[in-house]
Amino acid sequence: MLFHSTRGKDPDKDFASILMQGLAEDGGLFMPDYWPQVDLDEIKSKTSFVEIAKCVVPLFTSSSFSYDETISIVESTWHDFEHQDLIGIREFNSVSILELFHGPTAAFKDFGLQLAAAFFNKVLESENKTAIVLGATSGDTGSAAIDACKSYERIKSFIMLPNGNMSEVQRRQMSTIKSSNVFALRINGTFDDCQDLVKLAFKQRDFLKTDQYLLAVNSINWTRIIGQICYYFYAYNQLHQKGNLSFSIPTGNFGNVFACYSAHKMGLPINKISVAVNDNDILHRFFSSNDYSKKLVHETISPSMDISVASNFERLVYDFFLNRDSSKCAKMFDNFPIKPIELDVETWQRKDSLFSSSKVDDLETTKTIQETYKVNGYILDPHTAVAAVEAIKKSDSSNHFVVLSTAHPAKFPKVYEELNIEINSLPAALSGLFKKEEHLHSFDADYNQVTDFIKLNN
């Protein structure tokens, strides 16, 4: 299995190369050359999440690692989860909640980033090299990346956070880690300023040592998607007796939805994928009216979904084109966002068989949290609540919905203070966070200031 860019100019890459490279050389995203198929009877027979992951991960890694090497990585990858099988499932009538927040940073991103970090380390060990992880975060990516990489001595992590809408818990998860290879950089600017700095750094690379890798941990890294594909098959393993499942997914950069779509392409029977967004509705505009155009970011109470463009969306468009036409894809995305994207009607309608979308504002989100608490005694996090709306509306005895619960509510305490809902069980990941000292290094949104600091600590 090899990989290639959605824009056609970076083909025939093995797994280790796309892992370490992140974005393709032509600005596109890496895709597997074909969709490998999973044996559903085998999935049904498995008795744990890790056993299921062992059926999925090797399908993508064989160009760089032997089957046995991959299996031994998969067996030791996911760590510090508070649930014995990593994932919890709660059932309420025709809706199940897939709890993906039992990891060390209390959000689903631990699944993808722990897998990526384990493979990063494997490559670095075999080549005897070191790496810098550089990322920008407006929410949960930064803490999951830091946590996933902190135990690997060959990796130093520098994560930039903007002055912005992340919750204090989210910030403290990054700023209170005391580890000599982790640095939280507070940038006096917006998330876009941080991302611009990351982009420039990947171009210049002038702060690296010779032979040192610069690694991207944003959601376009294919290995993160692999880690997420596994839990869709886990949902099937646990819930297949309910008939074909529908999934409702709280969506920002479209990584989670694309993992669901990938699982479907690999043989997972799915009724519908519901793409649930907050006021940042670029994807809802695409699915409902073929309008994918960039607008300003709105701040909401589900901050990890506050995006202006959805970086993984390019992969879906590419896979929708007949014969996966990379030249069409390149033209479209090279000109975006200056030129908004509108597909020809026939291509656009390919979404109809699988996708629907919904847009849920803060008011409806809080109402759903309150109502679910009142009726079921269950506390949804604000992101999960956005996705729950559609599932509650559309599910019935012949259409079972799985809502992906992407974060633990305790990450967003302000929301619940205002609703007078008390969160009784704090995950270990978050306890004591407000007593710890913060280590934040502050900078202007200035390339030299930031990279001088990296050089000094590299």
Ligand X SMILES: *Cc1c(COP(=O)(O)O)cnc(C)c1O
Task: Tell me which residues touch ligand X (CB under 6 A).
Answer: 107, 109, 139-140, 219, 250-256, 304-305, 383, 406-407
Report the residue number, 139 or 189, with the smaller CB distance to ligand X: 139
Report the residue number, 297 or 305, with the smaller CB distance to ligand X: 305
Residue in the structure block whose two tokens are 């999973």:
38
Residue 53 and residue 379: Cα distance in Å, rounded? 29
Rounded to a whole number of angstroms, the minimum distance from the CB of residue 401 to ligand X is 17
Rounded to a whole number of angstroms, the minimum distance from the CB of residue 413 to ligand X is 15
Report the residue number, 123 or 217, with the smaller CB distance to ligand X: 217
Rounded to a whole number of angstroms, the minimum distance from the CB of residue 173 to ligand X is 11
Rounded to a whole number of angstroms, the minimum distance from the CB of residue 387 to ligand X is 9
Rounded to a whole number of angstroms, the minimum distance from the CB of residue 72 to ligand X is 28
Report the residue number, 173 or 251, with the smaller CB distance to ligand X: 251
Of the candidates 22, 26, 21, 23, the one whose C-alpha atom is nearest the C-alpha of residue 9 is 26
Q: Select which of 109, 150, 351, 359 is catalytic.
A: 109
Query: What is the three-state SS of the chain?
Result: CCEEECCCCCCCECHHHHHHHCCCCCCCCEEECCCCCCCHHHHHHCCCHHHHHHHHCHHHHCCCCCHHHHHHHHHHHCCCCCCCCCCEEEEECCEEEEECCCCCCCECHHHHHHHHHHHHHHHHHHHCCCEEEEEECCCCHHHHHHHHHCCCCCEEEEEEEECCCCCHHHHHHHHCCCCCCEEEEEEECCHHHHHHHHHHHHHHCCCCCCCCEEECCCCCCHHHHHHHHHHHHHHHHHHHHHCCEEEEEECCCCHHHHHHHHHHHCCCCEEEEEEEECCCCHHHHHHHHCCECCCCCCCCCCHHHCCCCCCCHHHHHHHHCHHHCHHHHHHHHHCCCCCCECCCHHHHHHHHHCEEEEECCHHHHHHHHHHHHHHHCCCCCHHHHHHHHHHHHHCECCEEEEEEECECHHHCHHHHHHCCCCCCCCCHHHCCCCCCCCCEEEEECCHHHHHHHHHHHC
Of the candidates 82, 74, 65, 219, the one whose C-alpha atom is nearest the C-alpha of residue 141 is 219
Report the residue number, 58 or 135, with the smaller CB distance to ligand X: 135
Q: Is 109 a catalytic residue?
A: yes
Report the residue number, 162 or 250, with the smaller CB distance to ligand X: 250
Return the ∠ at Cα 120 (arms to 117 and 121), rounded to 5°: 90
Rounded to a whole number of angstroms, the minimum distance from the CB of residue 421 to ligand X is 18
Contacts of 128 (CB under 8 A, 6+ apart): none
Report the residue number, 64 or 96, with the smaller CB distance to ligand X: 96
Report the residue number, 135 or 250, with the smaller CB distance to ligand X: 250
Rounded to a whole number of angstroms, the minimum distance from the CB of residue 39 to ligand X is 27
Residue 115 and residue 73: Cα distance in Å, rounded? 8
Rounded to a whole number of angstroms, the minimum distance from the CB of residue 356 to ligand X is 16
Active site residues: 109
